[in-house]
Amino acid sequence: MEGTVVKSTGSWTTVRLRDGTRVDCKLKGQFRMRDIKHTNPVAIGDYVEVVLLPSDSHGMITQIRERENYIIRKATKLSKVSHIIAANLDHAYVIVTITHPRTSNGFIDRFLVTAEGYYIPASIIFNKLDLHKEEENQSMAHLKQIYEAAGYPCYAVSALYGDGLEPLKKQLQGRMNLFSGHSGAGKSALINAIDPDLKTKTGMLSEIHQKGMHTTTFAEMYEISGGGYIVDTPGIKEFGLIDFEKEEIPRCFPEMDRLLPYCQYKNCTHTHEPGCAVKSGLDSGEISHLRYNSYLSILNDR
């Protein structure tokens, strides 16, 4: 039988079979040792083959189909093994808050670069609209303009009051979606608002630190009624950017990549080269300084 991995906690893996039933499965021994680069041989979103064990109420995963894509992170910055957060994603969403807590531009851009790096289409969800005053609305409008021009769809919602959810719900239908964002940005609240049946745990925002507490400790996949999934990821501080070489970064900024054919050099890094269309774009306002500064900072990190 075939199914999708919807939960993986270590020793047990929950698989949703085609007919909708869920089976807790063990892994056939061979997988545990095969993949030494990753701490988890099977990940949320994996398509697997399962053999049901009639004597027990559980099953055995016998095959893992090749992944179309996946997103990984490292346990620590220096560690050689990485953890697959989720596989076979159709779309990645970053939940951004202008306030309570403020999401940094660096975080947004790192997320987007990671998604581009893995060829996963990405969008931005601005949450907590209800907390916005004039100033926050202006900040959001400014960011929205920058990211939409770059090619990223933007949504503005309030998970608390349910505002602005309809267009987003349409996009989520029938797809495998990843939700990421700072802890406290409202990922769990948003999943609740999208599908109240799911009853995700949402944490209270700590008033002293203005930081969210960790209520989710490992990624979990939720099935949306009507079809589709949302993978909720725990507060990821050092999101992604793991496997990439410096040379790959320029293509991960789509608005700059589009200008590359107009740069004098085919392999222009848009830093010191003469005749660079991206640098001209900075002067003309076509390229945002905010994005360009992120680009430089990510490039210099490599």
Return residues touching Zn ion (CB under 5 A).
263, 268, 270, 276, 278
Options 40, 103, 127, 188; binder of Mg ion; rule CB under 5 A: 188
268 binds, among Zn ion, ligand GDP, Mg ion, none (CB under 5 to 8 A by kind): Zn ion
| Part of the chain binding ligand GDP (CB under 6 A), chosen from 9-17, 62-70, 128-136, 239-247 | 128-136
The whole-angstrom distance between residue 264's C-alpha and the CA centroid of its chain comes to 34
Instruction: List the one residue from 123, 127, 192, 216 that touches Mg ion (CB under 5 A).
Output: 216
Nearest 5°: phi and psi at 240?
55, -150
**Which stretch in 46-54, 64-72, 81-89, 180-188 sits in contact with Mg ion by CB under 5 A?**
180-188
Q: Which is nearer to Mg ion, 215 or 269 (CB)?
A: 215
Asked if 228 and 176 count as a contact pair (C-beta separation under 8 A), the reply is yes
Q: Is 127 in the site for Mg ion (CB under 5 A)?
A: no
Encoded tokens for 195: 């599908």
- Closest distance between Mg ion and the C-beta of residue 214, in Å? 8
Counting residues that bind ligand GDP (by CB under 6 A) gives 21
Give the residue with the Cβ less far from Zn ion, 73 or 270.
270
Q: Identify whether the C-beta of residue 103 lies closer than 8 Å to the C-beta of residue 133.
A: no
Check binding of 4 to Mg ion (CB under 5 A). no
Phi, psi for 158 (deg, rounded to 5): -125, 110
97: contact with Mg ion by CB under 5 A: no
Applying the rule CB under 6 A, the residues between 157 and 186 that interact with ligand GDP are: 158-160, 181, 183-186
Interface segment toward ligand GDP; rule CB under 6 A; list 103-111, 156-164, 242-250, 265-273: 156-164
Peptide bond into 250 cis (omega under 30): no
Work out whether the CA dihedral 105, 107, 108, 114 comes out positive or negative.
Answer: positive
Query: Beta-carbon neighbour count of residue 94 at 10 Å?
Result: 28
Q: How far apart are CA 11 and CA 182, in angstroms?
A: 28
Residue 51 or 213 with smaller CB distance to ligand GDP: 213
CA–CA distance, 266 with 247 (Å, rounded to integer): 12
Select the span of 93-101, 215-223, 239-247, 255-263 touching Mg ion (CB under 5 A). 215-223
The string of DSSP letters for 13-28 reads: EEEEETTS-EEEEEEP
Question: Does an H or E element contain 95, and which?
Answer: strand 91-97
Give me the least distance between CB of 250 and ligand GDP, in Å please: 31
Q: How far is the CB of 206 from ligand GDP (least distance, A)?
A: 9
Q: What is the CA radius of gyration of the chain?
A: 21
Q: Is 94 in the site for ligand GDP (CB under 6 A)?
A: no
Is 128 among the residues that bind ligand GDP (CB under 6 A)? yes
Which residue's CB is nearer to Mg ion, number 189 or number 259?
189
List, in order, residues 6 or more apart from 124 with CB less than 8 Å away.
Answer: 93, 94, 96, 108, 143, 144, 147, 152, 153, 154, 155
Chain residues binding ligand GDP by CB under 6 A are 127-128, 130-131, 158-160, 181, 183-189, 202-205, 212, 215
